[in-house]
Structure 1
Amino acid sequence: MKKLLSSLTLAACAVAATLPSFAVADNPIRGNIRVVIGSDSTGGDTYQAASLIANAMSERMKTNVRVDAVGASQAFRFLDRVSNGSTIMFFHDQSYLGNLYGIRGYEDIFEKYTIGQTITINPGDAFVVPKNSPYNNIQELIDAAGQGERIRVAIQPGGVSEIGYTALKNAVKLLYPGQEGNVVAVNTGSQADKNQQLFDRQADIIHGSIQANEQYTRLPEDDQRAMRFLWLTAKNETLSQADPAGFGGTSRDELLQFVEPINVVPMTADNNFTFDKEFFFLYNKDTDPKVLAYYDQVLTDIFAEGKVQEEMKKAFFIPNFRPASEAQEYLSAKKDAYRAIIEAIKE
C-alpha cells in the first residue's frame, strides 16, 4: 500500500508539473485567459502583436493566455458574453473606424465596451505603386488627380486602408477643389487581393504594409510584381523609434523618406495627415474595475521590465503602453480627429 501511495504521489506530481500554473494570489481571474483578436489570420500583424503581449502576460500572471484569431464580428460577440475578464479582445483602430464608416457589425466601442490599454504601434502602414509607376512621390499622385487623371486605390473598406484613401481624396479636395472624384476606391479584401490588383494593373496604388510588401520592392523593375513605396502614413517620430536596420532589405533611414516632412499629405491648410496604427485591449462593459486595475498593473509591470519592448522592436513594432484610463482619453480624441476627416470628404 505504501508503495502504491508513493507511486500515486509521484504520478500526481508529474501531472501537476505538466499543467499550467493558474491564478496567483492577487489575480481576480480564475482559470485561463482568452484573447480574441479582430482578425481571422494567424499570419497578420494583429496576431503577431497579440502573441507578443500574451506571452509576456502568461509569464507574469502565471496562467495560460491563449490568442484566438476569430475575426472582428466573432471577437465582439465573444466579448459581449464574458464580463469576468477571462475573455478580452485585442484589436487596432479599425475597431472604431469601422463604425465611423458605417460598416455593418461595428458599433461604437466607446459606448458598448470598456477601452483598455494601448500596447504597440505598427509603423508599417503603407501605400505602394508598381515599380515603373509614373508617380515618384505622393505629391505627384495628388497633382495628377487634381489635373484630371483617374487614380484607382485598392483598399479594404472600413478601416486603416480606407482612412488613408480618405486622406488622399481629402488632399485633392483641399488643393484642387472639385477634382477629388478622380480618386476612386477599388474595394477588395485581403492583402493578397490588393497585391493582385496591382499585379494585374487594375489599381494604380494599393494599401499595404512594410511587412507585407517590402519583399516586392526588391524585385527588378521588369518583374510584374515589382513595387515601391510611395507613402507611409506613420508619424516621423514613430518610425524614428524603429531599429536602424529597418525591415528586410530596407533600412530605417530609407523608410523615413516616405513620411513627413519629405512626403506629405495635407489634411488642412495648416496640418498634414498622419496615422499610427495602434493596438489595444477592449473589455466587456460590465467588467469589474478590480479586474481592469489588475490588468493595468500586470501590463505596467511587464513594460517596466523592458523585455517585451525588445521583442516588439525585433518584429518591427513600436512599444506604446498606456494604462486604461489614459488610453480611453487618448483613443477617444484620436477617433474624433479622424471623424473630422471622414466627414469633411462627405460634404
Structure 2
Amino acid sequence: MKKLLLLSLCLLLAGGALFAAGASEEAVPTFEGKNVRVVIGSTSTGGDSYLIAETVSRYLGKALGANLKVDAVGAAVALDAMQTVKPDGNTIMMFHDMTYLGISFGAYDEMYSLENMTVGPRIAQNPGSAWGAKVEAPYESLAEIPEYLKKNPNAVVRMACEAGGVSHVGFIVYWQWVMDTYGADIADRIRVVIGGSTGDKLQMLWDGNADVIFADYTSLLQYTQTDDPKLAMKYMALLDNIDGVNETSYADQGITLDGKEFRFAKDFLIYLPKDFPTELVAELDVAMKSVNADPGLRADLGKMNFRPGKYLNAEESKQFIYAKRDSLQGLIDRAPSLDDLVL
C-alpha cells in the first residue's frame, strides 16, 4: 500500500512538473514558426509602402524564423487591425508617416492614434516623395510656379494630392511658403484637386484635370524617361534629396518652413497592437538590428532609391516618431483646410 501511495505521489509530481514546463513554454511567446500577416496602409502593390514592406519582410522573416506575407489592405483597414486583432504576433503593420498624419489632420478617429498602438523598430526610409508635371508645363520647378503666376494673372495651377497624408504636408508647406513670399494673390491661385492612388493622379494629369501631382520618385521615373508626348513628365521638386539622383528638393529650391530649411523623408516603422508582448517586441528589435545591417537589404532598398536609415529599436522609434508628429502639429493647426483650397 505504501509502495502504491509513493508511486502515485511520484507520478503526480512528475505530471505537475511536465505541466509547469508546458505552461512555462506557452508563457514565452515567439515569432518562430509563425505565419505573420503584414498589413500596410496602401492597396497598391507598386508603391513604396508595398515595395519596402515586401523587401524588408523577406529579410526579417528569415531573421525571425517566421513566414511574413504582406497584405495591401489600405490605411483604414490596417489601422483598424491594430485596434482589433489579438496582440499575439500573427498580425503586424508596416507603414509610413500617414500612420499618425491621418489622425493629426483629422482624417481618422483619435482611437487610431499612436498612443493606442505599440511602436516597433524603424525598418526603412523613403526620401523620394515628389511632385511631377507634364514635360511641356511652362515651369521647371515648384519655385518657378509663383513667378509664372505673376506673369499670367489669370492662370491657376492645380496640384493633386491626398488629404491627411505626406502629400498634404508637402502641399501646405509649399502653399505657406508661397503665401509668405508672394502674398495671397499668388497663393490663392494655387489650388488643390484631391487624388487617390498614384494611378488616379496620373490619369488626372493626362486628362488635363491637374497640372502638378504628388507621387513617389520611383513610380514617376518611367514617365520622365519616355519619349511619348502624351505620357512624358518631369520632376518639379522632391521633399528630400536622394543620394545619386540629380533632382532638386525643397531645400535646393529655397522652399522653406517658417524661414528654415524643410526636408521630409517618409519613415517606415513596424506598428503593433496595444499591450503587445515585450518578448515579441524584443525579438523584433534583435532581428531588425541584424536585418538593417545586412548588405543584401541595403542593396535591394538602394535599387529602388530607398534607404535603411539609422537603426532605431522600438523604444527609440517611439521617441522619434512622437517627436516628428509633434513637430508638424503647429504647421497642421495653422494651415488652411484643403476644403478651402479645392478648385
Normalising by structure 1, what TM-score? 0.81
Matched residue, 1:114: 118
Structure 1 unaligned spans of 5+: 1-22, 245-251
What CA deviation, in whole Å up to 9, does each residue of 1:60-112 have, x standing for no partner?
A: 12221121111122222222222122211111111111111111457453211
SS in structure 2 opposite 1:43? coil
Matched residue, 2:253: 263
Structure 2 unaligned spans of 5+: 1-24, 338-343
Matched residue, 1:166: 172
CA positional deviation for 1:304: 3.3
Change (3 A) 1:46 1:346: same
Change (3 A) 1:261 1:99: closer
Between 1:185-194 and 1:304-313, the stretch displaced more is 304-313
Matched residue, 1:73: 76
Matched residue, 2:98: 94
Question: In structure 2, how many angstroms separate the alpha carbons of the residues matched to 1:49 and 1:150?
Answer: 36
> Is 1:177 matched up with 2:166?
no
Matched residue, 2:9: none
Matched residue, 2:290: 301
CA positional deviation for 1:262: 2.9
Question: In structure 2, how many angstroms separate the alpha carbons of the residues matched to 1:282 and 1:172?
Answer: 36
Matched residue, 1:187: 194
Question: In structure 2, how many angstroms separate the alpha carbons of the residues matched to 1:84 and 1:142?
Answer: 52
What CA deviation, in whole Å up to 9, does each residue of 1:253-300 have, x standing for no partner?
A: x22xx125432312112x132211121110111112222112111111
> Is 1:319 matched up with 2:308?
yes
Question: In structure 2, how many angstroms separate the alpha carbons of the residues matched to 1:161 and 1:210?
Answer: 13
- Letter in structure 2 aligned against 1:287: F
* Coordinate RMSD, CA, aligned: 2.2
Asked if the contact 1:36–1:69 (Cα under 8 Å) also holds between the matched residues in 2, the reply is yes
CA positional deviation for 1:144: 4.0
SS in structure 2 opposite 1:211? helix
SS in structure 1 opposite 2:52? helix
What CA deviation, in whole Å up to 9, does each residue of 1:26-78 have, x standing for no partner?
A: 86236322211111222221111111111112211222112111112222222
Asked if the contact 1:143–1:172 (Cα under 8 Å) also holds between the matched residues in 2, the reply is no
Question: In structure 2, how many angstroms separate the alpha carbons of the residues matched to 1:212 and 1:311?
Answer: 16
Matched residue, 2:216: 209
Q: Structure 1 segments of 4 or more deviating over 6 A? A: none
Higher gyration radius (CA): 2
SS in structure 1 opposite 2:300? helix
> Is 1:225 matched up with 2:234?
no
Matched residue, 1:60: 63
Matched residue, 1:336: 326
Question: In structure 2, how many angstroms separate the alpha carbons of the residues matched to 1:137 and 1:100?
Answer: 29
Normalising by structure 2, what TM-score? 0.82
Change (3 A) 1:215 1:332: same
Matched residue, 2:46: 43
Identity %: 30
SS in structure 2 opposite 1:322? coil
Matched residue, 2:21: none
> Is 1:346 matched up with 2:336?
yes
Question: In structure 2, how many angstroms separate the alpha carbons of the residues matched to 1:73 and 1:137?
Answer: 33
Question: In structure 2, how many angstroms separate the alpha carbons of the residues matched to 1:127 and 1:323?
Answer: 32
SS in structure 2 opposite 1:262? helix
SS in structure 1 opposite 2:196? coil
- Letter in structure 2 aligned against 1:333: A
Question: In structure 1, how many angstroms separate the alpha carbons of the residues matched to 2:292 and 2:178?
Answer: 41
Question: In structure 2, how many angstroms separate the alpha carbons of the residues matched to 1:214 and 1:298?
Answer: 33
Match of 1:142 among 108, 125, 146: 146
> Is 1:82 matched up with 2:86?
yes
CA positional deviation for 1:210: 1.7
Match of 1:292 among 275, 281, 286: 281
Between 1:306-315 and 1:100-109, the stretch displaced more is 100-109
Asked if the contact 2:131–2:237 (Cα under 8 Å) also holds between the matched residues in 1, the reply is yes
CA positional deviation for 1:228: 0.5
Match of 1:151 among 157, 164, 169: 157
Change (3 A) 1:76 1:143: same
- Letter in structure 2 aligned against 1:282: Y
